[in-house]
Structure formats: C-alpha cells, structure tokens
Chain A
C-alpha cells in the first residue's frame, strides 16, 4: 500500500518520529533490486533530525518529514550527480538546485538519486550507463523513461514523491507505465537552476506522486520565479472558465503502433468523464501531428549545444591527455553512450551549413504554429484529452535497437513540451495484460489548477 503525504502527516501527528518513519523507507530503499536508486543518500538521518526539529518548534510545512527521491540530473549540494552517465562519474554538485533547496527548506527528506536514461535521452531507462530500471509492476518490462527510476520509486513505495524532468514526455510516459501520477508543469513555472540542461526551451522539472492531490502539493512547493533562471515566471491568475468541455484531437488513433488496450481504455475513460458531467468533442488539430518531427529537430539541436560543455576539462573523467583535440574527441567518444552520441550528431546535422534553414528554422516556425493552434483550442475548451502513451509498458530489450520506434512512443507527449503548456498523466485502469493505462490532460499555460481539478474527477471515477 502506497502512503501519501497525508498518511505521513497523520503518523507524525500521532507522535511517530521522522527518523522512525524515514528509517523504514531507507531500509526498503537500500534492499530494493529494481535498480531504482543510483544511490540512497547517507545523510538521511541528519536530514530527519533537522526535520524533527522543525516539527518540534512548530515550523513544519505540509511536506516536512516526507521522503522524496530526485532524478540523477538534479543537483543536491555536495552529493553525487551523474545523469546516469559515465561522463559524470564521481562528480559532486557544487550547489543546490532551486527545487532541492525549496524541498529542504520545507523539511522534506531527500532520499536519494534515481536511475534515468543517460542525460535524459530515452523513453525506457535502458540508456542508463548503469543498467535499466525494472518496472515494479512487471520486472520484465521497462518503467518508461527518461525519469524511469523516479516513477518506479513512487510505484514501489520507496518514496512518497519523486522529482523528474520532462523534455518530450520523460515524466508523463514513465508515470503512465508505472501507474502513478506525473505532471509536466508549464514551462518556466519551476526553476531549472540546478537541472542539468538537455533542451533548454523544453525541459521542465515536475513531480511524481501516488495521487493527484499530492502532486498538487509538491507542485505548489517547487514552483515560482527564480532569479537564477531567467526563463522562470510566477503563475498568472487565470479567470475561471465555467464551461466543462474537453477537446480530443481528431484522428488520434490513425497512427500505427497504438494498441487495442489503449484505444479501449481511452474510450472507457471518455465515457466516465461524460458521466461526470464533462462534454467531450473531437476537433481538428492539423499541426498537432507535426510536433514529433519538430521535436526531433529542435531537441537534438539544443542537446548538441548543451552537451558541448562535457569535454573532459572541468569535470568528469578524461580519456586522453595527448592533445586538446584528442582530449575532447576520446573523452566524448568513450564516456557518452550511443544514444547521446546519436542525438548530438543529429543536432549537429540540423544546425549545419546547408541544412539549418530547411530543418532548424522551419521547425521553429512550425513550433509557433503548434503553439497558436493550442491557444485557439483553449479559447473554447478547458483542456485537451489524449492517452498518455500509444502502448502499455513494453518489454526490456524490445525497442532498444530501433531508435525510431522508441521515438514514436513520445507521440502524445511531445506536443505539450513544444507548446510549453502543462500536462498531467493520470492512471486510468489496466489493460488486458494487467499493465497500467493512463490518460493525459493538457491545459493552457499556468492552467495547472484545471488539470488537477479534472484529474481528481477522473481519479475518483476510476476507483
């Protein structure tokens, strides 16, 4: 049985000590064999004592004493952080990311760093340099990616909440595969200071939780404008939209690769939403389907820039000291995994002379058209509904040799990153194979409260 923030609070109010509660989580985390945690931190006891002091002084917050896991690409001062890559083996963070600082100040316990696809590139956590994480629901299957470890930590009850990062679906897709709630917040609503950058115009840090309410609580703690991230903004007050209509993009199931289980589950969810009083309508969104192509042009381009800093000079290991060129080329060739090198090359190509206009510039223009299309839809509808993923969790090894097949699993998730809007993935029952299914609600920028409201309704109906 998974605990929630409220269960932990109740236990604390009843007189249990933070240290006792957290020790239980720590033992389970140290014994787990799903390869979820890259490391369980050794200062958990110290953190628990501090949180207890906060509670004893009456200064506690809603998340004091709550065990939270963080993805291996989020910095926690003086703790190891490696983005599950050999390139950063042994690297210690020299500052706190803003999100970790906020959680610490609130008295939350940072349990450890979770496994991920290397440098957040992948949809299965199979691209980790330290082996894949297994889905706690079925060990032969992937937990999704790139935040697979964080999703699995919550699914396996090894943390009450976890932070991940989402650039093209890396929170929502593993949330769907593991049967937990995952939020992609509005771009800029959560500071990226201390998140190892992958795609700077796409990356967002967000929470994994067992329930929608818990997700809302964590989101409210981590959000906010930050002077260290000039792309961050405070939430804008939105006027209440009293309509209760949801849009479903037309032709959603015309692409191949969407399983019968997902189609069936989605139709059941739509029925339940209608019973709850929401009107659902299919609408034309012609640019929606171009989001995946736009993503696999813009994202690798940004990746090729962001990963240029990993050259063996200032951090990480080195693979040669013969000449400066060798230092760069050998270090990057040997310490980056194949998917990382693949995407850097792809980005280099679309930015190179002769191709820049046809690919990168054109993708930027289409990105604007996609954003405008979403804005038009949100003038008339509260939110947009789709399945989160085209299939349930696939088997470990099934897609790892076919990069394009792996990319196609991001079909429903990338549009939200391209448009920089929020999206919530909620578990919505099980497929015929007993594996979790999920639906995704997308909303206008800073429309998280709408997503949580609709999410709670779906959650209640699914019980």
Chain B
C-alpha cells in the first residue's frame, strides 16, 4: 500500500488528495488491511454460491404519482431553465 496505490484508488473513486494526505492514508490503510487480513485464516468449504435467504420483491408496473413538494432541480448548485448544468461532457 504505497502512494501509487493510493493514486490508483483515488482515481477510481474520483477523490483528490494532497501529497501529505496520500502518504498518511497509505499508512492508515496498510494497518487496516493487515488487521482484516486475519480472514485469510478462515477455511472455506463453500464457494460464493452460498444460499442466501433472499426473495425478490415485485410490484405492479404501474405509474404512480409521487408527492413531491419541491422542484428537485433546485437542490443542484448550478441550474438553468429547470435543468441541472454541468461542465461540457463531450
């Protein structure tokens, strides 16, 4: 877990870090990973296809109005004519 790994992860997660923070975080994450590594000691007989007691929850495919008291677009930092404005994408 070094500064390069942190840069790689920070790029995946779209978060900026200062140089000092990168070193400190590498150190912190190293400690946590060493701790959680103890799970490697557990012997697993099963594969990931463990049986989950999950059932799907369905509803009728029917449009129902939502009671929204506010224009949701208002929450954005930059809007125009009822649209959210962002920097150029393409």
Contact = CB atoms under 8 A, between A and B. Distances in A.
B16 A317 contact: no
Interface stretch (A143-151, A336-344, A425-433): A336-344
A94 B68 CA distance: 7
Interface stretch (A268-276, A363-371, A376-384): A363-371
A329 B15 CA distance: 4
B13 A348 contact: yes
Contacts of A338: 21
Contacts of B33: 346, 349
Contacts of A263: none
B63 interface: no
A364 B16 CA distance: 30
Contacts of B39: 290, 293-294, 297, 359, 362-363, 366
A358 B41 CA distance: 11
Given A321-B87, A349-B29, A332 B16 contact: yes
A217 interface: no
B31 to A, nearest CB: 5
A296 B35 contact: yes
Contacts of A287: 42
B38 interface: yes
A28 interface: no
Nearest to B46: A365
Contacts, number: 133
B86 to A, nearest CB: 6
A318 B84 CA distance: 12
A296 B84 contact: no
Nearest to A228: B66
Contacts of B36: 293, 296-297, 359
B44 to A, nearest CB: 5
A324 B9 CA distance: 18
A100 B67 CA distance: 16
A342 B25 contact: yes
B80 interface: no
Given A78-B69, A315-B75, A328-B14, A404 B29 contact: no
A333 B70 contact: no
Contacts of A404: 28, 31-32, 35
Given A352-B12, A359-B36, A361-B48, A345 B75 contact: no
A359 B69 CA distance: 43
Contact of B70 (A92, A294, A366): A92
A91 interface: yes
Interface residues of A, number: 59
Given A313-B84, A315-B75, A304 B32 contact: no
A101 B67 CA distance: 13
A77 interface: yes
B61 interface: no
Task: Classify chain B's interface size.
Answer: 35 or more
Contact of B6 (A314, A315, A345): A345
B69 A321 contact: no
Nearest to A340: B15
Interface in A26-84: 77-78
Interface string B49-90: 010100001010000001111101001111000001011110
A111 B36 CA distance: 40
Contact of B35 (A293, A341, A368): A293
A287 to B, nearest CB: 8
A366 B42 CA distance: 8
B44 A345 contact: no
Given A92-B70, A336-B15, A345 B76 contact: no
Contacts of B38: 290, 293
Contact of A332 (B6, B14, B25, B44): B14
5 contacts: A95-B68, A317-B77, A323-B87, A349-B9, A403-B31
Interface of A: 77-78, 91-92, 94-95, 227, 230, 287, 290, 293-294, 296-297, 304, 311-318, 321-330, 332-334, 336, 338, 341-342, 344-346, 348-349, 352, 358-359, 361-366, 368-369, 403-404, 407
Query: Which 6 interchain pairs have the tightest Cβ spacing?
Result: A333-B16, A230-B57, A328-B14, A315-B75, A293-B36, A318-B77
Interface of B: 5-6, 9-10, 12-17, 21, 25, 28-29, 31-33, 35-40, 42, 44, 46, 48, 50, 52, 57, 59, 66-70, 72, 75-78, 84, 86-89
Given A296-B32, A323-B88, A345-B15, 9 more contacts: A293-B35, A325-B14, A328-B14, A333-B16, A349-B9, A362-B39, A365-B46, A365-B48, A404-B32
